């Protein structure tokens, strides 16, 4: 059976093509939010030394990883995902980010989204087992499980114990990389979603979740990455979860800020476009 083709990225832009040396030069800015280490031969060799089962040819694998990230940044999400999957735990970070961002914005069916996030969460489990010292092994697990839970009812998500898994993964990521802005954003949203869905009292007593902690984490993320659309998008989302119509204007201001930021890659273009659509 032929493999189904993923829905294409709708906003192609030459500015998102980080061919050759452009990737290394732009890396710090492109990965300010997730603190992904640049996958040069030296870094890959370090990972292979930590877990020799992952492969032997650090140079070749580094080239493949860099190409996968180039594909991700320009919006070829299927290519980025497939190359990452083929590299196993070593490529899990790019595979999960590519598969997850594509599912979030470009997959229509909830059934397809659930299947995608489930597969990505399984990949993340493998990465946590193989490379537990990498912050993004844990962060991508939280991301995949968090997106998976958003496709379920709150009762289903709580019954499956997903909230606890997301929280422990985010805590593990932030212990390794305290300035991981995307993990801070996700932690803020974790608090906001629980408060928004079960109420302040129950959220505090059962999950240790609070509106105060949500705002604190989201503020920290915006401080770390003020030019990242997703930091503003999720802040707006959290305000609506926590306060509803009472903070609608503040949420709209956060979306407006995200919509005005200049995207540096395909993911940021999708984040900004989503924010813009909320203001229409």
**Tens of pLDDT along 7-61?**
999 999 999 999 999 999 999 999 999 999 999 999 999 999 999 999 999 999 9
pTM, to two decimals: 0.95
Q: What is the pLDDT of residue 206?
A: 80
CA atoms of 207 and 21, how far apart (whole Å): 46
Q: What is the pLDDT of residue 61?
A: 98
Q: What is the pLDDT of residue 153?
A: 79
Q: What is the pLDDT of residue 226?
A: 97
CA atoms of 176 and 134, how far apart (whole Å): 7
Q: What is the pLDDT of residue 261?
A: 98
Report the length, in residues, of the chain. 280
Q: Is residue 185 part of a domain?
A: yes
Q: Is residue 172 part of a domain?
A: no
Residues of the chain with pLDDT under 50: 1-2
The neighbour count for residue 256, using CB atoms within 10 Å, is: 15
Kindly state the tokens that stand for 10.
């709708």
Q: What is the pLDDT of residue 92?
A: 98
Q: What is the pLDDT of residue 1?
A: 38
Q: What is the pLDDT of residue 246?
A: 97
Q: What is the pLDDT of residue 2?
A: 47
* Domain span holding position 87: 18-167
Q: Is residue 127 part of a domain?
A: yes
Q: What is the pLDDT of residue 188?
A: 96
In terms of domains, do 47 and 144 share one? yes
In terms of domains, do 40 and 160 share one? yes
CA atoms of 169 and 137, how far apart (whole Å): 9
Contacts of 264 (CB under 8 A, 6+ apart): 15, 16, 26, 29, 30, 73
In terms of domains, do 133 and 197 share one? no
Q: How many domains does the chain have?
A: 2
CA atoms of 72 and 238, how far apart (whole Å): 27
CA atoms of 275 and 278, how far apart (whole Å): 5
């Amino acid at each position: 059976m032929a493999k189904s083709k993923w829905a294409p990225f709708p906003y192609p832009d030459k500015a998102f093509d980080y061919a050759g040396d452009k990737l290394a030069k732009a890396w710090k800015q492109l990965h300010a939010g997730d603190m992904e280490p640049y996958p040069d031969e030296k870094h890959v060799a370090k990972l292979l030394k930590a877990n020799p089962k992952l492969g032997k040819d650090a140079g070749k694998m580094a080239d493949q990883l860099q190409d996968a990230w180039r594909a991700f940044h320009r919006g070829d999400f299927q290519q980025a995902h497939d190359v990452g999957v083929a590299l196993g735990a070593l490529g899990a970070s790019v595979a999960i980010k590519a598969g997850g961002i594509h599912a979030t914005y470009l997959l229509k069916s909830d059934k397809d989204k659930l299947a995608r996030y489930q597969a990505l969460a399984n990949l993340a489990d493998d990465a946590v087992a193989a490379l537990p010292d990498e912050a993004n092994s844990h962060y991508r697990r939280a991301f995949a499980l968090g997106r998976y839970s958003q496709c379920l009812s709150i009762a289903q998500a709580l019954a499956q114990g997903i909230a606890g898994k997301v929280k422990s993964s985010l805590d593990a990521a932030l212990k390794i990389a305290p300035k991981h802005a995307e993990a801070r954003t996700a932690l803020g949203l974790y608090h906001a979603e629980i408060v928004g869905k079960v109420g302040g009292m129950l959220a505090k007593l059962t999950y240790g979740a609070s509106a105060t902690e949500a705002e604190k984490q989201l503020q920290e993320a915006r401080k770390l990455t003020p030019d990242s659309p997703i930091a503003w998008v999720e802040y707006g989302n959290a305000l609506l979860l926590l306060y509803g119509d009472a903070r609608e204007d503040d949420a709209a201001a956060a979306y407006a800020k995200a919509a005005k930021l200049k995207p540096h890659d395909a993911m940021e273009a999708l984040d900004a476009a989503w924010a813009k659509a909320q203001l229409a």
